[in-house]
Chains A and B, each alone.
Chain A
């Protein structure tokens, strides 16, 4: 009889083709429409920022993996790629390059690896970086180039206009411009259509579910809607709130980050609701015109609590059943 070297391992002996890489690069594919459209709107500078962001995130990931004695292939597992992409989409296209590199450092080194690396980070790295930049460089981070603008012509974002000039000033922004994205804002947040297209890709391939985005968006819509109905002269319409700022980008691509959102359905609903409520509160009464980043980060911090609330319930159930 022939000799065969047998390998002994654990069942199951078949595995799905899913992998971290597949998950991450699918998120990147889903962000492609928004990225491409942003380059169309904001020109080559948006492209350079995007590439720079992705490359520096992967570079920092590689360096930290090396220092931590981890496999360097982790730098190409797609997670740093997605973080870099999200970071670029969350800054204005006029941002100085060196600031963006600081952002990439904050995202990968501080927000991700100081917490333990992929899977252990409590906060969404791209959002931490964005908020870090916003607080450190408030002028550069709220200086929005106009789409198709010449010579870096800038204007306030619709939410900024709303904050400083009131509802009357935003009446002439057309619904089409808000949906297509022809408004001031971060590189990737302006086009609702492109973002929804990408989100459909993720939903269709089951990388995300509707639970978090829907509860997030509906809560913001409902909460701002109540105040709009009460006093339309002082509060903007809920449709305006959904289509402007980073709400769609945040709801579909940042709040759904697997690592930093709850696992169970009930927890996800609560998480989305919290994000939506905080976003609306910050936008209506906060010091900043935009509240999505803060809302998601605050809810990120509550995820361990939400999870343990969900699990304590399961634990109780298991005990009762055991009796």
Chain B
């Protein structure tokens, strides 16, 4: 069993929904589709209020190199384009779409699977771009950009990320169990884009035996390896996954392609398959609805733009004991302040939790126990960042590798003094970046 060499933690896995098949959530009557679904600039709206759209029709156009298309996720009428709560915590421009109940596809979209082998590389990349495919593991980086690295980078390794190391989340797990063929087809498409010989891997944590089996069945027909990874957080972080599988180490300032690697989430690979073979834009995804507190735990296939309130009504009322709603996993997710926020392409789960029991109300002093150093997968000194930041010596931090921090939260998880280490790191990054900007302005 493979794993990364340095740091890592093992929080309770709580994969409460691993045995629940994917259910399809009925189309809600109103959708709020954010134009910001990805890393980079929000998409430019190309529709107007009152306009009728069909399912799969472009409503937001990629604005610049790092940006991605956004599509109507059902047929209906555009009601408004306005600022609206975004699951990332901010307000973002959002297209409101009233469903007509027909769920009618745009002509030429969602066709029968075609043979992609006859397509040229440009054609494949264009289809991925047109479909608005972004990294579905969390970062939301436009996939067509990721799959076209600079010419001088030699790619010899393609990795699909099925680690799903965050507690509770099972959306990737269920997708691997239920749609292994599409995922592997996506992997084939991705590897075909590189002219150099490429070794393909799918990395899956050992706690998903059925997913490993489901994928391994295809290993005879196509040359790739399903790598069983130790169940350890953050196994699914890009840098750690590369280290686990290839032993290579991505240094500060480097990107995976600098070490010959391309990593995509299994969900992204599936979206690539659907985009290329079926001409189907990325308009839906699997979302885990879970949490110790709620009865109806599900893996739901949800169209993008479905508001949290619609998912809650579909799952029955939530108990009064719930006091936090998290978009994403408990380690790196975002606490929500509104049920009006909606599912975007990177929403892997919604968790309903009660954190009264967590003693996070007060930070205590650092007792220099070194647990954070032990837990940090990036070989950093998290305690030092926090102590320096609290003394407001922000400019000291970058020299100690501040920007090499992936904000995985392992340090904060283990801290016996309950210090908000990741928060201080994010805060420091923002301050340092702002100062840099001001200096260059």
Where the two chains meet, the residues of A that have a C-beta atom closer than 8 Å to any C-beta of B are 1-2, 4-16, 18-20, 22-23, 71, 117-120, 258-259, 261, 263-264, 311, 314-315, 318-319, 321-322
Contacts and interface: CB of A to CB of B under 8 A. Distances in A.
Per DSSP, chain B at the interface is: loop
B366 interface: yes
B309 interface: yes
Contact of A321 (B252, B333, B358): B252
Interface of B: 9, 11-12, 167, 251-253, 309, 312-313, 317-318, 320, 322-326, 330-339, 351, 353, 355, 358-360, 362, 364-371, 373, 381, 383-384, 398-401, 404, 409, 412-418, 420, 422-423, 426
A117 B326 contact: no
B48 to A, nearest CB: 30
B399 A318 contact: yes
Contacts, number: 149
B412 A18 contact: no
A20 B334 CA distance: 27
Given A7-B323, A7-B324, A119-B367, A318 B252 contact: yes
B423 A314 contact: no
Contacts of B416: 16, 18-20, 22-23
A12 B318 contact: no
B404 A318 contact: yes
Given A11-B422, A18-B371, A258-B367, 5 more contacts: A1-B309, A4-B320, A11-B331, A259-B368, A263-B373
B336 to A, nearest CB: 6
A10 B323 contact: no
A14 B384 CA distance: 22
B373 A23 contact: no
27 contacts: A1-B312, A2-B317, A2-B320, A4-B320, A6-B323, A6-B335, A6-B337, A7-B323, A7-B324, A7-B335, A8-B324, A8-B337, A10-B420, A11-B333, A11-B335, A12-B409, A12-B413, A13-B330, A15-B358, A18-B415, A119-B365, A119-B366, A119-B367, A259-B368, A311-B400, A318-B401, A322-B253
Nearest to B396: A315
Given A10-B422, A14-B11, A120-B365, A5 B335 contact: no
Give me the 4 closest cross-chain CB pairs, A-B, nearest first.
A119-B365, A12-B409, A18-B416, A10-B423
A10 B336 CA distance: 10
Contacts of B417: 19-20, 119
Given A7-B355, A13-B330, A117 B365 contact: yes
A18 B414 contact: yes
Of A7, A12, A14, A117, the most chain B CB neighbours within 10 A belong to: A12
Contacts of A117: 365
Contact of A258 (B313, B370, B384, B404): B370
A322 B331 CA distance: 28
Nearest to A120: B365
A117 B422 CA distance: 24
A229 to B, nearest CB: 37
A22 B369 CA distance: 12
A286 B317 CA distance: 75
Nearest to B309: A1
B324 A9 contact: yes
B352 to A, nearest CB: 9
Contacts of B360: 9, 15
Given A263-B383, A315-B400, A318-B404, A16 B413 contact: yes
